[in-house]
Structure 1
């Protein structure tokens, strides 16, 4: 007998079961797959043979706890543990089944509650819809009645106005017809809508308590079906009661025009009969067309919209904006397209914006005379004007000579107003005196009685003759010992000046600026000469004037001293002066007061320029900023072309000859910076005259304002000194010049500058006076002390301050005073010097115009013997 006798072999609880599974794919195809399932193999103990397994589970065997029938190798504890696990699993299974049943019951209750809420909401919606329909029907009836009534009134008014009998016969019956038309609609809309609702409620009323309760999806389907049935029966929904254009036009009674429409029609017919409301014919304009023009400016000249002009250009294939410039040919095509006429103008025609109309005799009024004081150096021109003005001007000039053109207006004791121009007397200011003579009416030639006629006196005579203005000779310094007026009159005969004392036609007056002798006679002579000239001007026109002086002020920008010659210059006027333009921001008279306007022969300082003009330029007032900018641009271009044409050599032979001549000439390059434009130009003209065929001075660059880093860089590259006339280098430029070894020379008197350059150019420098800056001090506060005057409380910021050294007062890097110290104190003690970082008190000799924030420059002079390399 084999070992398997009496034993049940191990195997699956049953044969494998086969089945099919249907697979569905996203693209719509399906596929049936045959699968095979297997039962779990369970070990069932066989009686009498421990460890044998058959079908069934251990937990269901009643003899599993019997030690004789348990599987081999399992202890009692292990067997107990397994039985406990089986019992716990069975308990958990029962709990889960109870929980699932409870959850299912709660879900069913929730579904039941939601169905009830949906049904209640539907009932409310049906009730609301019924109320809205009833309201819409009521409004429809009222509206139909109002329309019929308005139509009847309109027909009646139309018949009364037009005199026709076109009243509709059905108009009075319109309300009845509307009511009859509304009745079937109500019958077709109201009854069927209520019936299904009532029927549905009757069918569904007790349904909530039935076991076959409908789901929400079923409720939606039923509602959609009800809506379809209602529409099929003629119910158009909630919007059926609203009046539309088609329903008003297609109705039985029709819809007539409103009363407002009838009024508009009658007004239009009346205006047409009277000729009103006709579209104006387009005005054809003559459009001035320069070589280039901005699109927006072209639109303004055509009186068209800028957007339309841009659109026209885009149609031509030009993608431009209204701020871009186009050429004249393109602009002419645009002008013709808009129906206008193009008038070509040249660039020079922009000057026509400046008024050149001759004034009528009735518009002219008497104006004050413009008197220019001329003469030689130190003959007393400014002192004479100072005596007339009863002011002290000479003390403010460096070296006692006038460095700038001054324009003043004074009033005599007789009430006569005179305008004076005080021109410098040095030979370097020849061009400035020429400008003064060109704008003047009367020239007063000042000649010192103890010095007679000098070279600059002769130049002044020549300028007066060239300007063709009358001359009055003032023989000054008659109070001095040795004054001889006869000698002056005799010397003037050599220059064709015959005075009245010698039976001539030139007035001569003996005066003394120091004692005031003869001043009344001089003013009387000026007034008499002005009456003879009959000076008149038109104040009621655009202003025109001449620039006497121009400078760059640190706080105010470009400032020009303008002498108004014709018209009235007002605040806010737009003007063009030389190559610059601007708008008058402020006008300041000779007393430093701000005025609103300046008439003929009135000198004023003008603020608001775009740049610094040249002295002698003409100022003209224009209408718009565009005109001013256009004229200034044209003048800049013309000046550039003129300089380019003048600097170009005409032939190759001339170019080679010039290059060969330059090889034999030694040049002394310099860079000039001055405080005002007129001084810079005068210095340049004086330096260009220095030299001969072997040596000459070349001015690389000149300008107005403080010395900057740019000037130092140019001087370093050109290996030339910097000449500063009444200006100083700022801190950055000063440090840069020290590092790069650039020599900066400061001057306050022009003939010292010219003499120094002459000696340097000719090699005749025997002894040079050099200045060594030993310190800087800044004024912190100004104190007024009785008996001493204004004392500056200073802080020495650099170097050392010595009482024996010279000092200069700087305000915005411009020299306003040069002199010596009257006192230098440390606390209450008078000291010889104060080192850097300490505070001290300083007072200047015969000068008290000091302010907090000014800088004091301390320097020492020494003579150094130099030889040429």
Structure 2
């Protein structure tokens, strides 16, 4: 049944009432309508309405549109700036009908309907509901990739000569940094903690011949594998330092492997030829056995015997480097946007975030805007390894850049953009890509978790059905599963702060190798720079330990840590930090109980003695090893089977009750189990329960 709103007034008022008919109120199963105009109400039947309707049509040309109840209305899709012709197509009616819906306020099929309220009223008059959607006729433009990428390789005509980038690699304590000190007349090795290099150093050296070479000093320690890999991937030549007294070691083999993966030529420097146990020929043979074909043994790899400490044969090594660089014809394009690689990054307390980079293409100048991963930098200052200010950095040279908004990770590619706005767009695009990649990884993890949950749920459900009305023991009231987060397993929470990003990465990789179930290790937080108040608050919340590796702790933070009993441990050698973490783990592990045998006796014969009306067996024994103590525990062993384990009731020597029996003395032993019989040849073992400190089996490789 359709309902209408009418009144006895002038035709103009009647027409307005028809336009306002969308606010009609009605009740089900009634044919009467109510309308309130100017405070007056009138009730009419539908027949009376149709009589009055004729008079209205005669006096004014108007259409009265029927309204379907909203619950039965069909939903149609419309869009912004829809035309009359498009709306007619959606409604499957003609254009004239649509114009009537708008009460002749629009005309023509090309008329654009921009008023959403007017469109909504017209659709309601048609007896439909509308849903605003995107225009299906619009062409969806593909999303523009705002990320930037390195330029295509330069042509041969664009290449200009540049200093070769030489990476010094090898095993720990084989003299790599001593060699570089000899080449640049410095004493870096004296300032290194523990005698090992724990950072990647980048610096330029001018040889006596006038040739310039950029050297990268990579750590030889096992924990710095990732740092050495980055050193091999941005270099032109690898100088493999091998000690003549040690020969080829573990990290030497790794360095050879990484250099081959990077397809970089190798030049061998056999160091420590003045050592007492030096054997150059044996070292060369070890190199051949590991795939390095030295020239003196028929290969093509130069092997120069040197003594970095006494500066012997260094001229031969540098000449070999210059010759190798000339053969490679190393060059770069100094024009255009800068392309570089982050060698190391650190947080300076006064200068802020600093990065050591090696320029590979273009010329870096002060004021340039560069991007490394999601880190932005407007170059504020450029310095060399000696702290001297530079105006520009050409390809092949290292520099320390200041002005980073965030600290980039070592190994990231640095690219130049035209403005900070472009840099922010690039960072936003890269963050979106990372987020999408993370969502895909999370979706896979969630799917796997759901499958596992469904499998466990079905297993529990089947078990519950088999159990009938009995609940599972692992369930609480009303079948709710009991979840206990604290299972009693020892736990250690760590906060790691390091001086530079590369060292932090090495520490994290070392700690990631911990997989022991006896004690849970959680890395609560890590970062580059000095210890902050937030680190202390976090350590207090998690009952954790702060390890500051080569980083400072301001006095204010130290006082705050003392007030909150938060331990802060300072280290500057990685294996000492690992040893400290091991000690902390050992302190949290429960002690191990074990049995210490203190004596042993053999049964010679069984005697029966009277205790009241009952006869009790006594083992007539002889102590054959150690001492038998009355207060200790005893085991009765027969044919390698333990028949009794517990304390004694009596220990006698001759007729006297004693506390101990020494070796080769006879005695009578009465066990608490008085029903147990002895046989000649049985063994009685005397032991004590003791405990010792448990130690973790974690071995990080050094």
TM-score tier after normalising by the smaller chain length = 0.5 to 0.7
For residues 722-755 of structure 1, the C-alpha deviation after alignment (integer angstroms, 9 at most, x for no partner) is 1110123223322222222222111011111122
Q: Distance in 2 between matches of 1:350 and 1:492?
A: 49
Q: Is the 8 A contact 2:206 2:212 kept in 1?
A: yes
For residues 506-532 of structure 1, the C-alpha deviation after alignment (integer angstroms, 9 at most, x for no partner) is 211101011111111111111121122
Q: Is structure 2 residue 512 aligned with structure 1 residue 715?
A: no
| 1:554 aligns with one of 340, 344, 349 | 349
Residue in structure 2 matched with residue 567 of structure 1 by the alignment = 362
Q: CA deviation at 1:660?
A: 12
More strand by share: 2
When residues 715 and 411 of structure 1 are mapped into structure 2, their CA distance, relative to the original with a 3 A threshold, is: same
Q: Distance in 1 between matches of 2:273 and 2:488?
A: 52
Q: Is the 8 A contact 1:712 1:736 kept in 2?
A: yes
Secondary structure of the residue aligned to 2:525 is: strand
Q: CA deviation at 1:632?
A: 1.3
More helix by share: 1
Q: Is the 8 A contact 2:491 2:588 kept in 1?
A: no
Residue in structure 1 matched with residue 378 of structure 2 by the alignment = 583
Q: Is the 8 A contact 1:747 1:753 kept in 2?
A: yes
Q: Distance in 1 between matches of 2:586 and 2:296?
A: 47
When residues 713 and 512 of structure 1 are mapped into structure 2, their CA distance, relative to the original with a 3 A threshold, is: same
Written as runs of structure 1 = structure 2, the 5 A alignment for 1:101-180 is none
Residue in structure 2 matched with residue 161 of structure 1 by the alignment = none
Q: Is the 8 A contact 1:759 1:765 kept in 2?
A: no
Q: Distance in 1 between matches of 2:174 and 2:489?
A: 38
Q: CA deviation at 1:355?
A: 5.2
Q: CA deviation at 1:706?
A: 1.1
Written as runs of structure 1 = structure 2, the 5 A alignment for 1:698-847 is 698-761=522-585
| 1:406 aligns with one of 186, 201, 204 | 201
For residues 557-576 of structure 1, the C-alpha deviation after alignment (integer angstroms, 9 at most, x for no partner) is 11100100111111111111
Q: Is structure 2 residue 419 aligned with structure 1 residue 595?
A: no
Q: CA deviation at 1:721?
A: 0.7
Larger RCO (CA under 8 A, 6+ residues apart): 2
Q: Is the 8 A contact 1:355 1:542 kept in 2?
A: no
Q: CA deviation at 1:385?
A: 0.6
Q: Distance in 2 between matches of 1:662 and 1:530?
A: 61
Q: Is structure 2 residue 225 aligned with structure 1 residue 430?
A: yes
Q: Is structure 2 residue 168 aligned with structure 1 residue 351?
A: no
Secondary structure of the residue aligned to 2:345 is: strand
For residues 74-111 of structure 1, the C-alpha deviation after alignment (integer angstroms, 9 at most, x for no partner) is xxxxxxxxxxxxxxxxxxxxxxxxxxxxxxxxxxxxxx
Kindly tell me the number of residue pairs found equivalent between the two proteins: 436
Q: Distance in 2 between matches of 1:696 and 1:524?
A: 54
Q: CA deviation at 1:637?
A: 3.3
Q: CA deviation at 1:651?
A: 1.6
Written as runs of structure 1 = structure 2, the 5 A alignment for 1:79-478 is 344-346=141-143, 349-352=145-148, 354=149, 356-478=151-273
Written as runs of structure 1 = structure 2, the 5 A alignment for 1:472-621 is 472-621=267-416
Q: CA deviation at 1:450?
A: 0.8
Written as runs of structure 1 = structure 2, the 5 A alignment for 1:8-87 is none
Q: Distance in 2 between matches of 1:539 and 1:485?
A: 42
Q: Distance in 2 between matches of 1:742 and 1:764?
A: 17
Q: CA deviation at 1:387?
A: 0.3
Q: CA deviation at 1:605?
A: 0.5
Q: CA deviation at 1:361?
A: 2.3
Residue in structure 1 matched with residue 103 of structure 2 by the alignment = none
When residues 663 and 474 of structure 1 are mapped into structure 2, their CA distance, relative to the original with a 3 A threshold, is: farther
Q: Distance in 1 between matches of 2:491 and 2:269?
A: 43
Secondary structure of the residue aligned to 1:650 is: helix
Q: Is the 8 A contact 1:370 1:419 kept in 2?
A: yes
Secondary structure of the residue aligned to 1:562 is: strand
Q: Is the 8 A contact 1:688 1:699 kept in 2?
A: no
Q: CA deviation at 1:654?
A: 6.8
Unaligned runs of at least 5 residues, structure 1? 1-314, 318-329, 767-864
| 2:434 aligns with one of 639, 643, 647 | 639
Residue in structure 2 matched with residue 225 of structure 1 by the alignment = none
Larger Rg, first or second structure (1 or 2): 1
When residues 662 and 717 of structure 1 are mapped into structure 2, their CA distance, relative to the original with a 3 A threshold, is: closer
Q: Distance in 1 between matches of 2:507 and 2:207?
A: 36
Worse overlay, 650-659 or 390-399: 650-659
Secondary structure of the residue aligned to 1:372 is: strand
Q: Distance in 1 between matches of 2:520 and 2:181?
A: 39
Residue in structure 1 matched with residue 449 of structure 2 by the alignment = 652
Q: Distance in 2 between matches of 1:446 and 1:619?
A: 30
Q: Distance in 1 between matches of 2:446 and 2:281?
A: 54
Secondary structure of the residue aligned to 1:453 is: coil
Q: Is the 8 A contact 1:708 1:732 kept in 2?
A: no
Q: Is structure 2 residue 498 aligned with structure 1 residue 674?
A: yes
Q: Is the 8 A contact 2:338 2:359 kept in 1?
A: yes
When residues 465 and 537 of structure 1 are mapped into structure 2, their CA distance, relative to the original with a 3 A threshold, is: same
Unaligned runs of at least 5 residues, structure 2? 1-113, 117-131, 457-482, 591-691, 697-702
For residues 700-732 of structure 1, the C-alpha deviation after alignment (integer angstroms, 9 at most, x for no partner) is 211011111111111122222111101232233
Q: CA deviation at 1:358?
A: 3.6
Q: Distance in 2 between matches of 1:316 and 1:385?
A: 77
Q: Is the 8 A contact 1:447 1:457 kept in 2?
A: yes
Worse overlay, 613-622 or 457-466: 457-466
Secondary structure of the residue aligned to 1:373 is: strand
Q: Is the 8 A contact 2:259 2:266 kept in 1?
A: yes
Q: CA deviation at 1:697?
A: 3.3
